[in-house]
Amino acid sequence: MRVLEIKSIEQTIRTITFNFKGVEDIYPDGELKVKYSKNVSKVQEGTLVNMLLSMILPLLVRIDNEITLKTKLKVDKHTKKYWTTFLTKLQKHPKKIKLTIDAPIEESTEIIHNKINASRVGLFYGGGVEGLYSLGSLLEINPILLVYEGTDWMNQRTNKSDAIKNKLLNRVVKKYKLDLYKIDINIMERYIKNSPATINHFVTGPMFYFLTLPISKEKNINILFWGQEHNDIVPYHDAQKIWDYSLSAQIMNWIGYSKAPIVKNIGGYAYKCSLFKDLYTLRPDLFEYIYSCLSNMEGKRWCGRCDKCQRIAYYCEVFNIDKNLIGLSSEVSSKGITDKYKIPVDKFKERLK
């Protein structure tokens, strides 16, 4: 049996620090820290506990099927139901998960947003195809951009490429007068069990949702949006796969708070290639800001070698789009693209005829 003990959670106007033990094989130092770029509202203990669980439980069930949460913090009475549902049904985990809560239980009185006055929407934004397509769909209602970043955080990493990423982001924010919140999280540098892709596959959905709640409360956000392509949804519908893929709005609304924002997808069942083409056709003013390189560690906008660079190059070639519009060298080849990504493009192109 695994015992996850929460020692303390400290919240200031811009930082939340989580201290815990019992998962040293995943997080050796027992600390995770979230830093917000602007002031956020304080949330109740039950919400803080769920923030931490969102970063830990989806990883623990890969190695344990009996987990006890121990803490002196007050936990919302629905917490066990939320996470049992998430772990056993929504992740489609093959093992029967037993989750025990050893903590003071109460019914939360916290309201993350005021339904009468809530008029803002939030958009999880990464600067790639889905993010810009979503921004183009929501621009007229002035969305709040929610940007997660950190050391080794996929293509949101804070390193040499960060200057380019931030430059493009700042240009978008300034041009359209958008409200921006950056959320810096040290989860990638603390996690040691496996590759960073494991975090992306199993943790991002619930983590994005729960860690954004203080911003939702501060800004009275009513709906949280995120962009999604077809390939992100397939594993959730495939009974043979157990990937979380909780970026699905359906999943997050099932486990989310009843007094918090709902979640909506944009893009949904469209392939990335069609979102790319629609963005170029319908929102050329946003198309130029695309940043979609997975392996960039050299301070360049595009490494020209990774899977994402080759896909974007292929899209440009197939749809006769000038690569220079997005700063992609004409010399970047798509010859390494696999059928997994090539076939959807070819099918989409056939439908355009």
User: Is the same domain home to 262 and 152?
Assistant: yes
What is the reported pLDDT for 251?
Answer: 65
Axis-axis angle for helices 204-219, 45-60 (nearest 10)? 160
pLDDT, one tens digit per residue, over 219-230 is 999 999 988 776
Per the CB < 8 A criterion, the answer to whether 17 and 10 are in contact is: yes
Q: Domain of residue 189: give its range.
A: 120-266
End-to-end CA distance of the chain: 58
| 306 pLDDT tier (thresholds 50, 70, 90) | confident
User: Is the same domain home to 32 and 145?
Assistant: no
Average confidence (pLDDT) over 305-328: 90
Is 10 exposed, middle or buried (CB count within 10 Å of its CB: 0-12, 13-18, 19+)?
A: exposed
Average confidence (pLDDT) over 282-300: 83
φ and ψ of 49, to 5 deg: -60, -45
Report d(CA 22, CA 215) in Å as an integer.
Answer: 29
pLDDT, one tens digit per residue, over 13-25 is 999 999 999 999 9
Output the CA torsion sign for 279, 285, 287, 289: negative
| 336 pLDDT tier (thresholds 50, 70, 90) | confident
User: Is the same domain home to 143 and 51?
Assistant: no
Is residue 287's pLDDT more than 90? Answer: yes
What is the residue-averaged pLDDT of the chain? Answer: 85
pLDDT, one tens digit per residue, over 36-58 is 999 999 999 999 999 999 999 98
In a domain, 204, yes or no: yes
pLDDT over 90, % of the chain: 45
CA separation, residue 343 to residues 304, 315, 346, 350 (Å): 21, 12, 5, 11
Return the H-helix or E-strand segment holding 232: helix 230-237
In a domain, 299, yes or no: yes
- Residue 3 tokens read as 């015992």
User: Is the same domain home to 140 and 225?
Assistant: yes
In a domain, 283, yes or no: no
71/59: higher pLDDT: 71
Which among 132-136, 195-199, 272-276, 306-310 has the top mean pLDDT?
132-136
| 2 pLDDT tier (thresholds 50, 70, 90) | very high
CATH number at residue 240: 3.40.50.620
In a domain, 245, yes or no: yes
User: Is the same domain home to 20 and 102?
Assistant: yes
Q: What global pTM score does this model have?
A: 0.90
Lowest mean pLDDT among 49-63, 182-196, 295-309: 295-309
What is the reported pLDDT for 154?
Answer: 61
What is the reported pLDDT for 325?
Answer: 95
Report d(CA 260, CA 121) in Å as an integer.
Answer: 12
Beta bridge mates, 227: 266
User: Is the same domain home to 149 and 254?
Assistant: yes
User: Is the same domain home to 65 and 181?
Assistant: no
User: Is the same domain home to 26 and 149?
Assistant: no
Task: Specify the 3-state DSSP secondary structure of 145.
Answer: strand
Is residue 176's pLDDT more than 80? Answer: yes
In a domain, 49, yes or no: yes
Q: At which of 75, 106, 137 does a domain end? A: 106
What torsion, rounded to 10 degrees, do the Cα atoms 310, 148, 192, 194 define?
A: -40
Lowest mean pLDDT among 97-101, 234-238, 317-321, 322-326: 234-238
Number of domains in the chain: 3
In a domain, 88, yes or no: yes
- Residue 244 tokens read as 């979380």
Task: Specify the 3-state DSSP secondary structure of 125.
Answer: coil
Average confidence (pLDDT) over 245-260: 66
Is residue 239's pLDDT more than 70? Answer: no
User: Is the same domain home to 9 and 68?
Assistant: yes
What is the reported pLDDT for 97?
Answer: 79
Q: At which of 266, 281, 302 does a domain end? A: 266
